[in-house]
Structure 1
Amino acid sequence: MNGDTKQMEWKWNLSHIFRLFLLMFAAYSRIIAELPEKVKNVSCAFILSEHSILCTWHPVTPVKLDTKYIAVLQDHRWKKEFEVKNGQIFSEKTGIIETLNITITTKNNVGNTTSDVLIFDSFSSVKTDAPKITSIHVTCSSLTVAWQVEKGIYFDLMCQLKYRKADVQQWTQVVQLIPLMESQRESNYTIGELEPFNNYSVSVSCKGNSQIYWSEWAEEKSTKTLEDAPRKAVDVWQFTESADAAGRRRVHLIWKELDSSSAQGNILGYIVRCKSKEHFCEEIQADCCNTSVSITAESYIFEVFAYNSAGNSPGATLQIPEENWQDITSSKEVWAFPENQSFWVNWTAPDESTVSEYVVEWCVDTEPCIRDWQHVKNSTASFLQAKFLPFKCYNISVYPIYESRPGKPKTTQVYLKEAAPKEGPNIKETGVTKTEAIIKWEPIEKEKQHGFILYYAISYNISGQRFFKILNVTTLEYKLHSLTPGTEYIINVKVVNSAGESGNVVVLTTLYLCYRSTCGHQFQIHPKVSWESG
């Protein structure tokens, strides 16, 4: 064999050896990869009611090969092995005074791994059954919870409570531990400083003084605290009509419902009392949330109380000045601006320095005016906490309050958002002669204006010449001159605000030249026609 042949054979053998090495390395890598993962975090407790050990661990990552899990329990006298499932709870009967070594061995075709040894002391690992809540005694601000633990407990316990309101996710846990002696099976605890007339859920958990595991929480029980008298006065306001011929005035009292936390129960009704120096009003029982009282020209003090089954709220006081009370001035100026779907209101304070607060009142400028209001202290500005509608005109008034007595209001009008008027002027038929015509129209209804009316406009043609006239908002008619007898005219009448315009068209024919007083004319109204120039 020559040298070249030997060299080629040597290279072939080297290549074959290298390929064999790669195959062996790949096989070894697969074997290593398929070794079972070691079980970790083994945890065991002694279940007292069953006298058994209950163990769990975090499930290991599954492998492709078939894998078995063997639990091994042993002490100095005996050893026991049995198969369990991956990460599943398993239990084994044993005595309460035991010390065991516990491991979990994972086996497959490739090999096995074993968890770290858990040294298990059954007495210190006792876990009792969840206690049972036997009763709950309620007051308006507390719950006294009674519970019972299982029989057969021969060591001292400590317990803890948790509670929460029905509309709250998070539990409040009573930090204080409640001792329960070996001779006791029952105990109780009072949870205080709760809110009246609210639903609460409670639960209890216990453990031995020398043990590490708390029991499961007892089955939740729910109850409701009792009612208490409303803790807050209602927010009351008024508007007063002028005196009639007999000198009597009608006061309309309005107030807001208390929220549930202030009502502290079901509000059954309202009591209204009033008095002057000379008169006491008959006590009025009212439903929510207004009443009217006829009074004389004197100054009156009103009190409004909400009540439930537990009692009355504090009284809300409001004073109505005498009819001729003129010595208190109003705020000098009031401004309102749209902001974030509401209004920002500010005003200048009156010269009188004894103002205790202000009331900002608002309502849509239509009848009836449904009033809303809010109180402002130590400020001459406020953001209104309410929902407002676009295209509605709001009257916003600011009242200075002098020791519960309202002064004169200062009022402004404002729109949250404007739009073109909903419809054009409603044109009425009027006098037409041979050379003149008078066009009249009705004012736009407030709810159809959708903004502040800036002006009216008239547009028409005479002999090919276009005439255009702007009229102020108080003008509701216009006279056309120099018309041609027997001629048809198209007149556009529109109403304009800052957001747009709406118009109507009227078609009329002037009288013919004739010698009879019975000569007729034509007048046609074409409503809701879009404005056209020319």
Structure 2
Amino acid sequence: MVISANCHLSVAEPRSRRQHVEPGRSEEWRFCECSHLRFDADHRVLPSCQASTDSCKKSSGAFVSSQACRQHHPDGVRDLDCFGRHYEPTYNCTWGPGRNATRSTYTLVVTQRINKTMICPNISNFYQTIRIFKDLNVSVEIFENSQSDGCTKAVFLGSPKSLLRCDAPVNVSFSRSFGALSVAVTWKQEDAKVITKFVVRYKLLDSPSWNQPFVESLGANTCSVRNLNASRVYAVQTRCVTNEKCSLCPWSSVYVVPAELTTQRVVVSITDTDVAEEPGKRLISGAFQRRDCHRLTIGKVSGEPPPPHVDTCQSDFRLILSYSAYQINISAYNNASISTPVSHIVPERETMHAEDDGRLNVSVHNSTAFSIRWRPDVLKTFVCYSVEWKGSGQTAIYKSFYEDVNNYKTFSPLPEPLEPYKRYSIVLHTRPDKDTCNMKKINNSESTYGRAYVYLLEGSPVGAPANISCHSGTPNSAVVRWSPIPEEQVRGFLRGYVLHLVHSNQRGVRTETNITVDPDLNSYKLQELQVDTVYQVQVSGFTSAGAGVRSATIFFKTDHEGYFRFRSFITVLAVVITVSVFGTPILKRAKSKFWPNIPNPGNSSAVQKIEGSCQLELLGILSSLKVEEWHTETLQILENDPLVPACTLATVLPLLGSFELEGDPVDTTSKWIQEDLEDDPGAFSSVLEADTVLERQRADCPGSTVAFTSDYTTMEMFQQMMPQTPAHEAVTSGMNNKSEDFTVVRYKELESDCYRCHFYVQPK
């Protein structure tokens, strides 16, 4: 802002008092004209007004307003302040306009000596630069609308030596941690030379008063405030400590310091995907748990400096990186604090694209030197490169370089010598920008060109495959499986595996067969094996330096030829047994329910039938007959003629109950009947059924003499073989002849042919 004003110097006699004139000083002031006033952003006057000696002249008189102006009026001009700088000859005066002023004009009157007054009329702004003597006190008056009836004024009195001001710091930064607040300030260059200390005052944001006493710094740039509440928001101001060069130190603006960030910010997920358009690059993306401002510090695990940081206030982040291993530290931050970082490791990707594989050639010269070579067409696009190499289980070592002439680079001497029998991975990265040769930025600034593996010296494997197993699938084949040899035990590029197969024939002659398998296989099917033969297998690996140690021996036996037939037979037999065990009870239940099991003596070879005719008198004879010899297994059944009513059975069965064996107790008969029933459950069922039928017949034909007709049939063989003798003789002889195989009871035919008596005789 540029303002023009005129400053008039005049000689006047102050109306209020007369001051003593110092000896040796002139009582005349020169008239000067001030032009081109400049102000900073805070409306402070910049020291650009210079007095013009050509326009200065002697002037005398006093400034008298047209009327008495009111002082300290609540609606009038106010806040008049004058100050100087220790490095400037001029002073600045500022004021505030009246609340009701419109198009106001101001007149500034400066008085330092009696009858010497400097008048600056018609000022349309609120700033004025003046020149005063530093040895004399000064009186400054500002008049608003001095020629109107609403004239107001403000007065400022002071000593020029006490009006040297040092401004508030141009920059203030805060850092909070563990209940402490660190304040760092930056002063204007001219003030920084004379400021030695500063003070800080603070309060809770909603508190009306400032904490006392103020905290004073130990130096000019940093100050620490302790014992704060980490979860509360504070208001903070700062200013310099006064001294001879800084007699005025105004407070800075009020800074709001947010609460301390004490919790770690969690990343929900991190994904690693390829960038299809740019081979050798990958997209690392993630999402934050909370929507705050986050700072991502991204560095290579190899330690290549510097680890730049990326600030984002979004809910997620996206980084385009090469195939190197990276460490990403994520912290939430604000203008006062930063949270404890959460570290995430992005592992190195060893798998290259098919078009990138084999593009890098490496030659190892000795333990302290190797060379890399790449395609010459790359020089047209890239001139900055970075190479990383590491052994198994080691941290990568890096070297960045600039190359625009040759498509090869030799590295010698190496920071660490290469070790024999150890595999080294060497990776070349290309960088499109020259400023990334020294890793000034990291996001989307590098791509992986190619990878190669080398050995300083190869050796044979010192380890063998583990977890050997074998499964015989057929009589002539078997499958062998194993686990690969650990990389540190290979000690070279694995060229393949050898299967050592040994078996002995019937004469005891051992035969060994070696089978070579590709290094990327971990199983092999052995074929054309002998049937029912025991084999032993060992597996070993080999490199260009030779074969390694063999694994432990395992044994297996091939199957017999009839194995599958026998297995089929066993399967069928198991099914039959299962059906027999579980099916038979089911069939018996069905048969007993739908087809009752009625015993038929005619189906037995042990039972024979003899038919004849008799009369009812036979029953009387039998009831009085004393049997000399009777066998408990002998069964006598009477069958009625079809022509006789069936209910006659009711008169027959009671007579049978009177038979007794000679010399036996009365209950002997019932005893052997019970024993027979217990030996044959079916007979017991038949007897129960017969009793039931008998009771029903008795109910139907009470008091009648009835014979029954049986459905039992038997063979006629016994009747044909026996001679025709009288019935009573046969009975007597049968009873007395104990050496005979059969016991026969036969009765003579009666006159009446209405009955046919059947005698069933069972062998003893």
| Alignment TM-score, normalising by the size of structure 2 | 0.26
Larger radius of gyration: 2
